[in-house]
Amino acid sequence: MLVRARRSVRKFDREMPVPDDAVRRSIELALLSPNSSNMQLWHLTWVRDPAVRERMVTLCMGQNAAKTASHLVVFQTRQDLWRRHAKWNLEQAPPSSGSGPDERRMKLMRKYYGVLMPLAYRSDPFGLNTLVRRLGSFLLGLTRPVMRLGGSGWQRVILHKSCALAAQTFMLAIQAEGYDTCPMEGFDAVRVKKLLALHRGADICMIVAVGNGTPAGVYGERRRLPTEEVLTII
């Protein structure tokens, strides 16, 4: 089973690189991941160039996974794209027919992507939008259940949830191709952004090292806390 077979592998066989096709297919699958409101506020940078990959090693704190990887994929969130992606979602709506279910769907989408998304994602230097979101949620929440909207921290969490799911899908897809991965958060985000010329709105979620795993790359048994310690059944 894929989920059981996947391990974080820190040493890859550099003599047997992972073919580009396998990475490309896995990226396509990663982009099918569930994501908040289908806003797809993510961006992936696939580091294939050996010279750039080499320079990434020091920025990934010299980790073996980075040192021996055939590919590195940098998963980033892109909050700055919210307007463009909300518009794109709106454009996917069926053409207006004047009445019927399509028209109702269109109205709903207009409300969702035209009103709710700006409400959730808009930000300003004075925090006025956050204040409106917090106050609005609080007041509405006095009488009924509401989604509690918040500030930049809340927005960031939303984006990273979706991006991390894409990274996980990618890792499972690579596993299904017969190769291995190691997710990494041990890197210098400032320098990685500079080296890869990432967009200034990019926030790196994690870097996934991809390669042909070696037994020495699995550091010991897989250990997890007892299920009962982390699970509550009500």
Query: Contact positions toward ligand FMN, by CB under 6 A?
Result: 7-8, 10, 63, 65, 182-186, 206, 222
Q: How far is the CB of 183 from ligand FMN (least distance, A)?
A: 4
Q: How many CB atoms are located within 10 Å of the residue 192 CB?
A: 22
Q: How far is the CB of 121 from ligand FMN (least distance, A)?
A: 24
Q: For residues 33 and 159, give the distance between their C-alpha atoms in angstroms, rounded to a whole number.
A: 13
The residue with its CB nearest to ligand FMN is 186
Cβ–Cβ < 8 Å for 209, 185:
no
Taking only Cα atoms into account, the Rg of the chain, rounded to an integer number of angstroms, comes to 21
Q: How far is the CB of 222 from ligand FMN (least distance, A)?
A: 5
Q: What is the dihedral of CA 107, 112, 114, 115, to 10 degrees?
A: 110
Q: How far is the CB of 225 from ligand FMN (least distance, A)?
A: 11
Of 12 and 113, CB closest to ligand FMN: 12
Distances (CA, A) of 210 to 3, 56, 217: 16, 14, 12
Of 183 and 211, CB closest to ligand FMN: 183
Sign of torsion over alpha carbons 30, 33, 38, 42: negative
Of 138 and 219, CB closest to ligand FMN: 219
Q: How far is the CB of 163 from ligand FMN (least distance, A)?
A: 10
Of 130 and 181, CB closest to ligand FMN: 181
Of 86 and 207, CB closest to ligand FMN: 207
Q: For residues 90 and 87, give the distance between their C-alpha atoms in angstroms, rounded to a whole number.
A: 5
Of 59 and 149, CB closest to ligand FMN: 59
Q: For residues 53 and 69, give the distance between their C-alpha atoms in angstroms, rounded to a whole number.
A: 8
φ and ψ at residue 76, rounded to 5 degrees: -125, 150
φ and ψ at residue 36, rounded to 5 degrees: -60, 120
Q: How far is the CB of 111 from ligand FMN (least distance, A)?
A: 35
